[in-house]
């Protein structure tokens, strides 16, 4: 885990400056004001790469980040940060818009513009940082959307996505598919901004272009639900089943087979986890959306050449 700062390893007198320097390098130049600068200042920050996107997480004692207009003008690479509050209540002000962000809620910050963000007490947040040029949207559309994210039907999808990314970025960043995950995050962010800005032509196009990305994100969050079906997926995304199948066909993408493949991969990984050794094959199958253990075993063998029991046994025999 690339922790770029952990003040627990520093003398008390060095912590304030260390937090400031790290924030400048990992996010954007700003004034860092601590709630109790002479007290127990604490911060732990991490930074991970997901292709063209970055995940930045912060756990800290009461803190305020104040970026002035002068600091914003010095920025050479505009970035938008999509942040989910993980602990404590955040207070954010930017471009004449004020909002309170409770744990689990999403906000977007244009790091190239002045802002004021803070929390009191022990807090935490995680964000996905995306360069503006990769969003492919006019700056005025992006800024119009910042204070309207919750008006978009995509808001809960993107909030959940960012929440999952920032919950365990270390594991995700070392996966071979990390760059693809970063690309998917950029697509979702673009669609959310276009939708929230009510840029009709843009939002319709973005919704169509990112439908499969949003479907994949939705499916991964509901893999354990045995009721997950193409019809329920279409309904959750406000499109007809016919349209969903049409988009999948154009992308040469089999939705049903992909769902089964994702469930099999999840079950295969769980079968080798020490914490799941006491669970029966049927229980593991059920946890991944397979209501029929026989069907699960048949699909597992077709995919991996061994039965679930043989896979588990081989895993326990490995050093």
Q: Decide if 197 contacts 144 (C-beta within 8 A).
A: yes
The reported pLDDT for the residue numbered 211 is 79
Phi, psi dihedrals of residue 162, rounded to the nearest 5°: -65, -40
Tell me the mean pLDDT in the region 43-48.
94
Q: What pLDDT does 1 receive?
A: 45
Asked whether the predicted pLDDT for residue 76 surpasses 60, the reply is: no
Residue 204: band (very low, low, confident or very high) from pLDDT cuts 50, 70, 90 = low
Tens digit of pLDDT for each residue in 86-132? 999 999 999 999 999 999 999 999 988 999 999 999 999 999 999 88
pLDDT grade for 317, boundaries at 50, 70 and 90: low
d(CA 231, CA 237): 10
Which domains does the chain carry? 3-209 (2.60.120.10), 227-319 (1.10.10.60)
Cβ(67)–Cβ(115) under 8 Å?
Answer: yes
Least confident span in 36-50, 151-165, 265-279, 285-299: 265-279
| Mean pLDDT rounded to a whole number for the chain | 88
Q: Do β-strands 90-94 and 97-101 pair in parallel, antiparallel, or remain unpaired?
A: antiparallel
Tokens 């087979």 map to which residue?
A: 257
Residue 79 is classified by DSSP as E
109-120 pLDDT tens trace: 998 899 999 999
CA–CA gap between residue 114 and residue 117 (Å, rounded): 10
pLDDT at 225: 86
Task: Using DSSP, state whether 61 is helix, strand or coil.
Answer: coil
Assign 3 to helix, strand or coil: strand
Residue 276 has pLDDT above 90, yes or no: no
Which band of pLDDT confidence, cut at 50, 70 and 90, is reported for residue 207?
low
pLDDT (tens digit per residue) in 222-257: 888 888 999 999 998 888 999 999 888 887 888 999
With a cut of 60, say whether residue 139 has pLDDT above it: yes
């Amino acid at each position: 885990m690339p922790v770029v700062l952990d003040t627990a390893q520093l003398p008390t007198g060095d912590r304030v400056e260390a937090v400031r320097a790290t924030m400048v390098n990992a996010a954007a130049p700003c004034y860092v004001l601590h709630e109790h600068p002479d007290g127990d200042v604490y911060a732990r920050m991490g930074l991970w790469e997901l292709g063209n996107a970055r995940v930045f997480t912060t756990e800290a004692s009461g803190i305020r980040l104040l970026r002035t207009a002068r600091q914003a003008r010095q920025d050479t690479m505009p970035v938008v940060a999509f942040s989910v509050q993980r602990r404590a209540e955040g207070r954010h002000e930017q471009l004449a818009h004020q909002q309170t962000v409770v744990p689990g809620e999403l906000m977007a910050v244009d790091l190239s513009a002045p802002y004021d963000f803070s929390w009191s007490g022990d807090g935490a947040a995680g964000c996905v940082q995306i360069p503006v040029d990769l969003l492919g949207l006019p700056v005025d559309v992006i800024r119009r959307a910042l204070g309207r994210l919750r008006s978009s039907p995509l808001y809960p999808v993107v909030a959940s996505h960012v929440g999952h990314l920032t919950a365990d970025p270390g594991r995700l960043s070392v996966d071979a598919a990390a760059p693809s995950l970063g690309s998917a995050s950029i697509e979702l962010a673009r669609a959310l901004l276009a939708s929230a800005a009510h840029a009709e032509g843009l939002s319709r196009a973005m919704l169509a272009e990112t439908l499969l990305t949003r479907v994949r994100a939705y499916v991964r969050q509901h893999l354990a639900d045995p009721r997950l079906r193409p019809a329920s997926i279409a309904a959750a995304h406000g499109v007809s089943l016919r349209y969903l199948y049409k988009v999948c066909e154009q992308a040469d993408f089999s939705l049903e087979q992909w769902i089964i493949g994702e469930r099999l991969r999840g079950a295969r990984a769980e079968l080798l986890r020490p914490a799941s050794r006491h669970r029966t094959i049927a229980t593991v199958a059920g946890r991944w959306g397979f209501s029929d253990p026989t069907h699960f075993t048949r699909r597992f063998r077709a995919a991996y050449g061994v039965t679930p029991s043989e896979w588990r046994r081989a895993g326990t025999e490995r050093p």
